[in-house]
Structure 1
Amino acid sequence: MIYLHIHGRLGNQLFQYAHARYLQYITGDELVIDYRDVFLDHADLSEESLARYNVIPYRKANGTEIPKTIYYLIRIAWHLKPINHLRTKYYIERLICPILALFGICYYDSNCHIMHYRPKKGKFNYIKGWYESPKYFSKIDDIIRKEFTPKESLLPKDQLLYERLKRKESICVTVRRGNFVNDPNLAARYNVCSTDYFRKGVEYIQNILSDTLVYVCSDDNEWCRKNLAFKGEVIFERNGLNPSEKLYIMTACRNFVISNSSFSWWAQHLCDNKDKIVVAPKKWRNENPEPTDIKEDYWKYID
C-alpha cells in the first residue's frame, strides 16, 4: 500500500500525488490518500482537489489503516523536527529519514534537496512531505501530464480564452499574495517577488517576442489591477474560477513569469510549448538552505 498523507492546497497536492504516483507505479500497489489535514487546515476546502483530475483510482483513508508502530515512529519524528528552524530540520531529517525508511516511512518536509526513498512492494508505505521537485516523478512525467488534465470542460467563454492564449505569444504572470504578505512570519520567509520583479520579467520576454498578450493570475486580482502595469494587451483572470480551471487556463500560455509558489510552478511545467520562456525569482525563499531542486534548468532568473 502507498499511503499518502496529503496536505496543503492544489499546487502542493499535485507535487505530493506525483511522488506517490511514482511509488505506486513502480510497486503496483494500491494508492490510499488521507485528506484529513487538508480539511482541518483549510476551512474553505470542502472537496478532494484530485477528484477533478484524471488521476488513477485511489481509496480515501481515515487514519485507521496506519500500523501502530509506524504511527508512533511518525509522532516521534514530528517532535524531533523543529518547526521554524529550517537548517536544523534539514540536518535532523538527513539523519532520521534513512532510519524511518527501513520501516516503510517516507516523511520528509524540509524540502531543501531531494531524498530518495525505495518503497517496500506489498508492504505499508507511509508518504508525507512536500516533494516539490520534478526529480521525484521525472521517470513518469508523461503519465503525470496526462493525469493532470481536468475531467470537466471549461465554460465556452473560458475555452475561447484558452484557445486565444494558445495562439498568441502569451505571457502568464502569476502573483502569489495571500498569507505570503498578510502573515508576518510567512512574509519574512516567502515574500520575495516585488512589483519590480514582475515588470522586469515581462519586459525581458517582450524584448525577445513581439505582439505579446499578458495574462495576469493571482489570489488578489484587485491588488494586481491597481499595482501592475504592462505594455500591450493585458487580461486579468476572471473571478469565480475553481483552482483546477485556473491552472488549466494558465497552462495555455506560451511563456511565464512565475512567483515562488507551487501553483505557478505547475502552470509552467504543464505547458506543452517546447520553446517557452520562463522567468523565475533568483531567490526562491528567504531561508537557508534554500530549496534548489524545485528549479528547472531552462528558467531565466531575475532578482
Structure 2
Amino acid sequence: MKVVAMAGGLGSQMFKYAFYLNIKNNNHDECYIDTAPYDKIAMWNGYELKHIFGIEAPDFRSFYSAKQIQQLIDFPGSYRLFAMNLMHEKAPSEPLIYYDHGQRGKYSDYYSVLGKLRRKAREVKKNCWDGRIHKEDCHIERYPKDYLKESGNIYYDEFNHTSDEYFRGMKERLIQEFDFPEFMDKNNKTISQKMLQEESVAIHVRRGDHMYDNGDLFGSGYFNKSVRYVKSNINNPIFYVFSDEIHWCKDNLGELGLNEQDEIYFVDWNTQLESYRDMQLMTYCKHNIIAISSFSWWGYYLSKHKKDKIVCAPKGYWFEVGSHF
C-alpha cells in the first residue's frame, strides 16, 4: 500500500498528485491520496483538485471512522501518525516506512527516543542545510533511484519538488488531468485571447505567507534582472502581474523592474475559490517570470506556448527551467 498525503495550496496539491500518479503507474500495490490533513488545518482554499479539475482518486481518508475523523480534527498535526497507525492495523506483518520531506523513517522507530531525535534532526536540516544547498544551486536527491520499486507500505508526506523529476515523462497525461474549466466571465475570456496574440509575460509575485523565502528575491534584484533579460530579448513585451499583494505591486513598480512606460496589466479580479484562474491565465502567456512558488511553476509547465519561450526562475530553485537570476 502506498499513500501520498495531500497538503498545501493548489500548486502543492498538483505536485503531490503528479507524484501519486507516477507511483500508481509504476507499482502494483494499492495507491491512495490522503486528504485528511484538510479536515482541520486551514490551508488556502482547502483541497481543490476535485472541484477544479474533477479529479477522483482513491482517498485513504475514506477508511477512517467518524470517531477517528473527530480525533484528527482535535489533533490536526497528527494526521501522519493516524494514517500510519491505520496502515499498520490493515497490514501488521508488512514493513511500514514513511518519507518526511524526502527523508526516510521507519514506523517501528516512530515512538522511540531515537526516532524523535531523527525527526528533530531532519527539521533542523530542512530549515538550515537545505536552504544553503538551494542557494548554491545544487540539486537535492530526495529519493533513492529505485524508489518506484520499493516494497512494503509507505506513507509519503510533505513532498516538495524543484522540478518535474519525479513525474518526468508524464507531461501529456498531466495536461489532460489538469484541464481547467472554460472561462465564463468577460474579463478572463478577453484577456486570455489577448495574451495568445502578443509577447505576453506573466510575472508572479508571491508575498504574504511566503515572504520567508520569496523575500530574498527583492533584495537580490531577481525581478529587475528577469525583466531586463526579457526586454533585451523580445520586442514590445506586455507584462501581466499576478500576486497575493497586488496593491503592493502597483505601488512598487521599480522593485519589479517595471516603469510607467511599460504596458502592464494587474490581474486582480480572480479571488477566493476563483483564485485558480490566475494560474490558468499564466498558461496563456508566452513567457513566464516565476517566483518561489509551485503555483507559478505550474503556470509555466502547463503553458500553451512551446517554442521561443523565455522562462526566468530564482537561482537555486526550479531546476531545468531556462534562465536563473
Inter-CA distance 14–47: structure 2 relative to 1 (3 Å threshold): closer
Aligned pair partner of 2:125 in 79, 85, 88: 85
Secondary structure in 2 aligned to 1:67?
A: helix
Matches within 5 A, 1:57-136: 57-59=57-59, 61=61, 62=64, 63=83, 65-68=86-89, 70=96, 72-73=107-108, 75-76=110-111, 80-82=118-120, 83-86=123-126, 112-116=140-144, 117-119=147-149, 124-132=153-161, 133-136=163-166
The percentage of counterpart residues that share the same residue type is 24
The alignment's TM-score, normalised by the length of structure 1, stands at 0.76
Counterpart Cα distance in 1 of 2:150 and 2:290: 37
- How far the C-alpha of 1:154 sits from its partner, in A, is 4.1
- How far the C-alpha of 1:200 sits from its partner, in A, is 2.4
Secondary structure in 1 aligned to 2:148?
A: coil
For 1:301, the equivalent position in structure 2 comes to: 324
Kept after mapping to 2: 8 A contact 1:10/1:243: no
Matches within 5 A, 1:191-210: 191-194=215-218, 196-210=221-235
Aligned pair partner of 2:292 in 246, 260, 263: 260
Aligned pair partner of 1:250 in 260, 270, 282: 282
Kept after mapping to 2: 8 A contact 1:38/1:45: no
Matches within 5 A, 1:92-241: 112-116=140-144, 117-119=147-149, 124-132=153-161, 133-151=163-181, 153-181=183-211, 187=212, 189-194=213-218, 196-228=221-253, 229-230=258-259, 231-241=261-271
- How far the C-alpha of 1:232 sits from its partner, in A, is 2.3
Report the structure number with the largest CA radius of gyration: 2
Give the letter aligned to residue 238 of structure 1.
D
Kept after mapping to 2: 8 A contact 1:19/1:131: no
The alignment's TM-score, normalised by the length of structure 2, stands at 0.71
Counterpart Cα distance in 2 of 1:47 and 1:219: 19
> Which consecutive residues of structure 2, in runs of 5 or more, have no partner in the other structure?
65-82, 98-106, 131-138
Counterpart Cα distance in 1 of 2:128 and 2:108: 19
Counterpart Cα distance in 2 of 1:269 and 1:43: 23
Inter-CA distance 43–17: structure 2 relative to 1 (3 Å threshold): closer
For 2:70, the equivalent position in structure 1 comes to: none
Secondary structure in 2 aligned to 1:207?
A: helix
Give the letter aligned to residue 33 of structure 1.
I
Kept after mapping to 1: 8 A contact 2:5/2:33: yes
For 2:12, the equivalent position in structure 1 comes to: 12
- How far the C-alpha of 1:85 sits from its partner, in A, is 3.0
- How far the C-alpha of 1:47 sits from its partner, in A, is 4.2
Partner deviation per Cα, 1:173-225 (whole Å, 9 max, x = no partner): 000101233xxxxx2x5522117321321121122111211000011111111
Name the stretch that deviates more: 64-73 or 252-261.
64-73
Partner deviation per Cα, 1:234-287 (whole Å, 9 max, x = no partner): 011123332321211111111011111111111111113222101112244xxx
Give the letter aligned to residue 258 of structure 1.
I
Counterpart Cα distance in 2 of 1:59 and 1:238: 34
| The structure with more helix, counted as a fraction of residues | 2
- How far the C-alpha of 1:158 sits from its partner, in A, is 0.6
Kept after mapping to 2: 8 A contact 1:114/1:135: no
For 2:71, the equivalent position in structure 1 comes to: none
Name the stretch that deviates more: 168-177 or 26-35.
26-35
Count of equivalent residues: 265
Partner deviation per Cα, 1:47-68 (whole Å, 9 max, x = no partner): 4444411545433514475224
Give the letter aligned to residue 155 of structure 1.
D
- How far the C-alpha of 1:169 sits from its partner, in A, is 0.6
Inter-CA distance 86–54: structure 2 relative to 1 (3 Å threshold): same
Partner deviation per Cα, 1:90-137 (whole Å, 9 max, x = no partner): 7xxxxxxxxxxxxxxxxxxxx93231412468x644222324130100
Give the letter aligned to residue 66 of structure 1.
M
Counterpart Cα distance in 2 of 1:256 and 1:37: 32
Give the letter aligned to residue 295 of structure 2.
F
